[in-house]
């Protein structure tokens, strides 16, 4: 058994819900920036169009990252409801609460996460 202290599940539930709300608010603003860029040469110069295309691509990438994080939040909330939040998906040991405070969507302890990076 691990020396990891018990998790305050309500604290993590609230942190996840707050993160979810913030991501939803950001997503609403990011959708407009990811829209198709108009390529009307009579209105915009070549460099301005290139800047607009680059901004669009960055916004689309941000939207993809935001969607992935929202999926992670939903999965973490399900784990809280199922009673296995904070357990490493690889080894079954409890994830350090300090690590979960940094990112409450984590699914791996630091040892298993390091092992996947190697």
What pLDDT digit, counting tens, does each position of 28-59 carry? 776 655 555 555 555 556 667 778 788 888 88
Half-sphere exposure of 53 (CA within 13 A, CB side): 10
User: What 3-state DSSP class applies to 101?
Assistant: helix
User: What 3-state DSSP class applies to 86?
Assistant: coil
Domains, in order of start, for the chain: 9-117 (1.20.120.910)
Can you say how many angstroms the Cα of residue 74 is from the centroid of all Cα atoms in its chain?
A: 10
User: What 3-state DSSP class applies to 94?
Assistant: strand
| pLDDT tens-place string over residues 95-109 | 999 999 999 999 999
Cut 0.85: pTM above it: no
Can you say how many angstroms the Cα of residue 105 is from the centroid of all Cα atoms in its chain?
A: 8
**pLDDT (0 to 100) of residue 1:** 45
């Amino acid at each position: 058994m691990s020396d990891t202290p018990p998790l305050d599940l309500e604290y993590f539930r609230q942190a996840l819900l707050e993160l979810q709300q913030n991501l939803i608010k950001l997503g609403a603003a990011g959708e407009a920036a990811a829209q198709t860029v108009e390529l009307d040469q009579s209105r915009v110069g070549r460099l301005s169009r290139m800047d607009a295309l680059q901004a669009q691509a960055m916004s689309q990438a941000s939207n993809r990252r935001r969607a992935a994080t929202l999926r992670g939040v939903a999965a973490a909330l399900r784990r809280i409801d199922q009673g296995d939040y904070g357990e490493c998906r690889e080894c079954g040991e409890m994830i350090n609460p300090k690590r979960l405070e940094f990112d409450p969507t984590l699914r791996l302890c630091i040892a298993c996460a390091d092992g996947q990076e190697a």
